[in-house]
């Protein structure tokens, strides 16, 4: 009898363990990868339209010129007119739309010249990426309800959990359910607040419209000071000063 | 016999001394006042005619340099011009005949005595005037304000001795001065305030007034030219002004003549019937011509400077849409509510005039639409 009880307890414990294990995975608790982070530069801001700020524990810098280096742990924020093009060491490119915020973390190879594992935490806004396909590297983006693991692609992500692929492949894990979906050319996926997942295929026009938002970052930018002069009813001059960022006609990437 | 011969010689000598004394022993000086200019010409004639010396225009001084008395002298003034011939002669009557003792002096300001010394004089000098018909015409034209033109005037003064109803010229002196057409009279000044107001004209609401400085009731010709349309603006101005004005030909859009009108006062208000005459963002040149008569009764042309103004863009229609691209709906509405007009644009220190504003804004809008340009602040 005692053996039976012990056997039942053991079985019960094993079953509970299995149930617990199963329930853990179904809760979708995502643990951010542990990266071997250093103070080395992991990316650069190649182009930008103000305002763009880079913050970390020790600083909060508003960008004044291109070429700003980013280290692992930096938070990049764009204002309501701001755009940024972030170039990683492995030549992956992230184009960040206005009113966005993300935390960039990356582990470099021993030579400190390539990103081995990159993790971008998308907190606000959106971005469009070109990521090189390399079997020995990881590139992962998390949103509130999804994790996009990139296999090498051109794709977009928004903080409100929309992911679309222009070309290539992205593996998306729904954080709440642990469900994994593979998105390929022209496919999109949207995780709603109630956990439902909407997915499908985008038309060429829809894809073009999504990519269009980042068009400003496709060429080097020239800053111009512009004064627009008006005359008021008294005949006096009223001047409005604005700054514009315009694509350079000579440089196209 | 010898006595008679001696007497004859004495008498002959006395006459010959007197004859020699006529020009050398009476020193005569005629000079114009240092402040005299051709602008005083009309007043000078008035001073001579009215025999007043409210202002001095010329001065006549005579001095007896002999040891004897020079008796019964009077003054004759003759004014002549190269163009008009003799204008007037003022000959002193018997009143005021003067005798100068040795060293005696008499000075006239215009035709009035102002200084005397060592002389005897019979009353105040009075002058009989003879104005020629040419002289009358000149004086009348001067009083009408006609322009003084090129001429040479001479004041010829004689001192005569009156002997038994005979006049004998003791001495004479003259002074001349030239007149010329004053170039400044060929220029019509413009009203700076109006010129400034025309710049940035809101063509959709304002009917502009053109104004210049000039006399009322004078024929003025206002010519406005579209500088974009005219092939040669200067040539078109010259050609139109050389042609007589015609009421049947006050506009010619093809050649760029916006308006060619006459005004009888120094201003012209564009009438309502010419609404839409001016387009926004275009540059117009304007000039006023009038004719002026000279005292010689010839006609000369007077002009304003050739002035330009460029019309502003009211913030409406396409301009409004273009500004919304840059400033947004709310800010653009504020511009409209504040009655602002778009004037010009400066990019990196380069100013784009009103003619180019529309092109620049359209280019910007195109780039904004293609996400090739972002407005930051």
CA–CA separation, B3 and B61 (whole Å): 43
Residue-wise pLDDT tens digits, B169-201: 999 999 999 999 998 888 998 888 877 777 767
For residue B192, give how far its alpha carbon lies from the nearest alpha carbon of chain A (Å). 13
CB < 8 Å to A226, chain B: 345-348
Q: Which of A51, A219, A228 has the highest number of chain B CBs within 10 A, making it the mutation to test binding with B?
A: A228
Q: Which residue of B has its CA nearest to A219?
A: B372
pLDDT above 50 for A8: no
**pTM for the predicted model, two decimal places:** 0.56
For residue B325, give how far its alpha carbon lies from the nearest alpha carbon of chain A (Å). 12
- Predicted local distance difference test score (pLDDT) of residue B46: 95
Which ipTM value was assigned to this complex? 0.76
What is the residue-wise DSSP string for B237-278? HHHHHHSPP-GGGS-BTTTTEEEEEEESSSEEEPPGGGTT-S
- Predicted local distance difference test score (pLDDT) of residue B164: 77
Residue B120: strand, helix, or coil: strand
CA–CA separation, A30 and A176 (whole Å): 9
For residue B198, give how far its alpha carbon lies from the nearest alpha carbon of chain A (Å). 10
CB < 8 Å to B335, chain A: 230
Whether residue B345 and residue A230 make contact (CB cut-off 8 A), yes or no, is: no
Quick one: pLDDT band at residue A3, thresholds 50, 70, 90?
low
A228, A229, A247 ranked by CB distance to B373: nearest:
A247
Whether residue B343 and residue A231 make contact (CB cut-off 8 A), yes or no, is: yes
Check if the beta carbon of residue A154 is closer than 8 Å to that of residue A165.
yes
CB < 8 Å to B199, chain A: 235
pLDDT above 60 for B17: no
- Here the tokens at position A227 are 């004064």
Q: Which of B52, B100, B92, B49 is nearest to B74 (CA)?
A: B92
Residue-wise pLDDT tens digits, B253-266: 899 999 999 999 99
- Predicted local distance difference test score (pLDDT) of residue A125: 95
What domains lie within chain B, and their CATH numbers?
2-180 (2.60.40.10), 184-311 (2.60.40), 314-369 (no CATH)
For residue B209, give how far its alpha carbon lies from the nearest alpha carbon of chain A (Å). 15
How many interchain CB pairs under 8 A, A with B? 87
Q: Which residues pair with A233 in a beta bridge?
A: none
Residue-wise pLDDT tens digits, A181-230: 999 999 999 999 888 999 999 999 999 999 888 999 999 999 999 999 88
More confident of the two residues A70 and A39: A70
CB < 8 Å to B349, chain A: 225
For residue A79, give how far its alpha carbon lies from the nearest alpha carbon of chain B (Å). 10
CA–CA separation, A11 and A171 (whole Å): 37
CB < 8 Å to B326, chain A: 228, 242
Residue-wise pLDDT tens digits, B263-300: 999 999 998 888 778 887 788 999 999 999 999 999 99
Whether residue A224 and residue B348 make contact (CB cut-off 8 A), yes or no, is: yes
- Predicted local distance difference test score (pLDDT) of residue B3: 46
CB < 8 Å to B312, chain A: 231
B323, B343, B373 ranked by CB distance to A244: nearest:
B373
Maximum Cα interatomic distance, chain A, rounded to a whole number of Å:
106
Whether residue A227 and residue B346 make contact (CB cut-off 8 A), yes or no, is: yes
A212, A225, A246 ranked by CB distance to B373: nearest:
A246
Give the CA angle between residues B118, B123, B128 to the nearest 5°.
115
- Predicted local distance difference test score (pLDDT) of residue B138: 96
Residue B327 contacts A, CB cutoff 8 Å = yes
pLDDT above 60 for B358: yes
Q: How many CA atoms lie within 13 A of B21 on its CB side?
A: 19
pLDDT above 90 for A162: yes
CA–CA separation, B95 and B72 (whole Å): 11
- Predicted local distance difference test score (pLDDT) of residue B206: 67
CA-based end-to-end distance of chain B: 128
Q: At what angle do helices B133-143 and B41-50 cross, to 10 degrees?
A: 120
Q: For chain B, what percent of residues have pLDDT higher than 90?
A: 63
Radius of gyration of chain A (CA): 23
Q: Which residue of A has its CA nearest to B357?
A: A228
pLDDT above 60 for A25: no
| Average per-residue pLDDT for chain A | 85
CA–CA separation, A198 and B277 (whole Å): 61
Residue B367 contacts A, CB cutoff 8 Å = yes
Quick one: pLDDT band at residue B222, thresholds 50, 70, 90?
very high
pLDDT above 50 for A115: yes
Whether residue B347 and residue A225 make contact (CB cut-off 8 A), yes or no, is: yes
Residue B340 contacts A, CB cutoff 8 Å = yes
- Predicted local distance difference test score (pLDDT) of residue B89: 97
Q: Which residue of A has its CA nearest to B372?
A: A216
Strands (E), A175-209: 180-183, 187-191, 197-201
CB < 8 Å to B196, chain A: 235
pLDDT above 80 for A9: no
A49, A237, A242 ranked by CB distance to B343: nearest:
A237
Whether residue B376 and residue A226 make contact (CB cut-off 8 A), yes or no, is: no
Whether residue B377 and residue A81 make contact (CB cut-off 8 A), yes or no, is: yes
Q: Which residues of A touch B (CB under 8 A)?
A: 49-51, 81, 83, 212-216, 219, 224-233, 235, 237-238, 240, 242-247
For residue B193, give how far its alpha carbon lies from the nearest alpha carbon of chain A (Å). 11
pLDDT above 50 for B345: yes
Residue B363 contacts A, CB cutoff 8 Å = no
Q: Which of B307, B315, B327 is nearest to B357 (CA)?
A: B315
For residue B86, give how far its alpha carbon lies from the nearest alpha carbon of chain A (Å). 58
Quick one: pLDDT band at residue B18, thresholds 50, 70, 90?
very low
CB < 8 Å to A48, chain B: none
Residue-wise pLDDT tens digits, B28-67: 999 999 999 999 999 999 999 999 888 999 999 999 999 9
Whether residue B345 and residue A245 make contact (CB cut-off 8 A), yes or no, is: no
Check if the beta carbon of residue B198 is closer than 8 Å to that of residue B208.
yes
């Amino acid at each position: 009898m005692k053996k039976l009880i012990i056997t039942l307890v053991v079985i019960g414990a094993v079953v509970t363990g299995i149930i617990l294990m199963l329930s853990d995975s179904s809760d979708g608790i995502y643990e951010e990868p542990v990266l071997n982070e250093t103070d080395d530069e992991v990316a650069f801001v190649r182009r930008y339209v103000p305002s763009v700020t880079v913050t970390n524990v020790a600083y909060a810098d508003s960008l004044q010129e291109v070429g700003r280096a980013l280290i692992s742990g930096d938070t990049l924020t764009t204002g309501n007119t701001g755009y940024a093009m972030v170039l990683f060491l492995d030549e992956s490119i992230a184009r960040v739309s206005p009113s966005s915020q993300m935390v960039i973390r990356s582990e470099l190879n021993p030579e400190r010249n390539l990103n081995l594992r990159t993790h971008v935490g998308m907190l606000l806004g959106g971005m469009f990426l070109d990521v090189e396909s390399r079997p020995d590297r990881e590139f992962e983006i998390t949103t509130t309800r999804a994790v996009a693991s990139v296999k090498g692609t051109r794709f977009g992500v928004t903080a409100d959990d929309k992911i679309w692929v222009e070309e290539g492949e992205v593996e998306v894990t729904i954080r709440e359910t642990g469900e994994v979906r593979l998105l390929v050319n022209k496919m999109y996926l949207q995780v709603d607040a109630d956990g439902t997942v909407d997915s499908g295929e985008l038309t060429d026009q829809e894809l073009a419209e999504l990519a269009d938002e980042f068009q400003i970052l496709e060429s080097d930018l020239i800053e111009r000071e512009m004064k627009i002069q008006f005359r008021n009813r008294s005949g006096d001059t009223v001047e409005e000063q604005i700054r514009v960022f315009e694509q350079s006609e000579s440089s196209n990437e | 016999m010898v006595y008679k011969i001696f007497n004859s010689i004495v008498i002959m000598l006395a006459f010959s001394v007197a004859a020699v004394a006529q020009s050398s022993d009476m020193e005569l000086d005629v000079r114009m006042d240092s402040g005299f200019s051709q602008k005083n010409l009309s007043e000078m004639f008035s001073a001579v005619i009215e025999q007043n010396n409210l202002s001095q225009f010329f001065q006549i001084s005579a001095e007896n340099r002999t040891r004897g008395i020079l008796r019964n002298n009077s003054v004759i003034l003759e004014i002549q011009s190269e163009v008009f011939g003799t204008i007037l002669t003022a000959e002193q009557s018997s009143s005021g005949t003067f005798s100068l003792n040795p060293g005696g002096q008499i000075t006239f300001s215009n035709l009035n005595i102002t200084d005397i010394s060592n002389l005897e004089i019979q009353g105040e000098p009075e002058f009989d005037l003879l104005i020629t018909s040419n002289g009358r015409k000149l004086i009348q034209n001067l009083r009408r304000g006609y322009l003084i033109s090129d001429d040479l005037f001479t004041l010829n003064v004689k001192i005569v001795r009156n002997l038994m109803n005979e006049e004998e010229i003791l001495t004479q002196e003259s002074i001349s001065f030239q007149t010329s057409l004053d170039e400044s009279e060929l220029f019509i000044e413009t009203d700076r305030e109006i010129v400034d107001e025309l710049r940035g004209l809101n063509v959709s609401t304002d009917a502009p007034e053109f104004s210049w400085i000039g006399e009322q009731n004078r024929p003025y010709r206002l010519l406005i030219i579209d500088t974009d349309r005219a092939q040669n603006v200067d040539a078109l101005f010259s050609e139109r002004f050389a042609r007589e004005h015609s009421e049947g030909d006050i506009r010619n859009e093809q050649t760029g003549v916006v308006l060619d009108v006459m005004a009888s006062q120094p201003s012209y208000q564009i009438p309502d019937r010419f609404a839409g005459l001016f387009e926004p963002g275009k540059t117009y040149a304007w000039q006023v011509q009038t004719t002026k008569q000279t005292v010689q009764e010839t006609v000369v042309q007077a002009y304003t400077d050739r002035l330009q103004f460029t019309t502003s863009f009211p913030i409406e229609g396409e301009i409004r849409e273009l500004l919304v691209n840059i400033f947004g709906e709310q800010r653009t509405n504020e511009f409209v509510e504040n009655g602002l007009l778009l004037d010009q644009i400066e990019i990196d220190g380069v100013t784009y005039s009103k003619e180019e504003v529309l092109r620049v804004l359209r280019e910007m809008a195109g780039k904004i639409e293609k996400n090739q340009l972002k407005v930051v602040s």
